[in-house]
Amino acid sequence: MNTDAAVIEASLVKLAERGIELRHGLYERFFAAYPARRADFLCPEATSVRMTDETLQMIHGLASDESWVWPLVAELSYTHRAYGRLPFEEYETFVDLTVTTMADALGVDWGEAAAAAWGRQAERLKAMIAKAQTDWERVLPRG
């Protein structure tokens, strides 16, 4: 069965087989896009593991129609308010870079099916993050 969940899972298995830690390339690219953000990461060696893994889990969870994704995204959006005002554009970039870093890491093992599946689920994740940010701002507006 060639569902998005199966395709995404196959990419994750390939990544693990190659022994590549996505977070290094992902963070390099993210900080290249937003150099001033580097200072907000007090413990990147630890938090980059969690931030990257949770993004991958959310994308895979969405593809599998898991009901825990929305509560996790809502929580993430709430806890990240502690790091200051993070524009949606930065989340958008982080999710997009997760997919492009994955594509580069897989090289020849990245094909049209992977691009389509990851692209579709990344769009869903970004839409969820946008909704969570808007909802929190509505119920708990910041001055």
Q: Which residues bind ligand HEM (CB under 6 A)?
A: 37, 40-44, 47, 50-51, 54-55, 76, 80, 83, 86, 90-91, 94-95
Query: Closer to ligand HEM at the Cβ: 106 or 132?
Result: 132
What the block records as the tokens of 141 is: 């507006």
CB 95 within 8 A of CB 122: yes
Lookup: tokens for 44: 């990147």
Q: Which is nearer to ligand HEM, 68 or 83 (CB)?
A: 83
Give the shortest CB-2-to-ligand HEM separation in angstroms. 25
Q: Select 5 or 51, whichever has its Cβ closest to ligand HEM.
A: 51
Shortest Cβ 32–ligand HEM spacing (Å): 13
CB of 93 to ligand HEM, least distance (A): 7
Alpha carbons 96 and 68: distance in angstroms, whole number: 22
CA atoms within 13 A of residue 135's CA, in its CB half-sphere: 14
Q: Among 80, 105, 104, which Cα is nearest to 91's?
A: 80
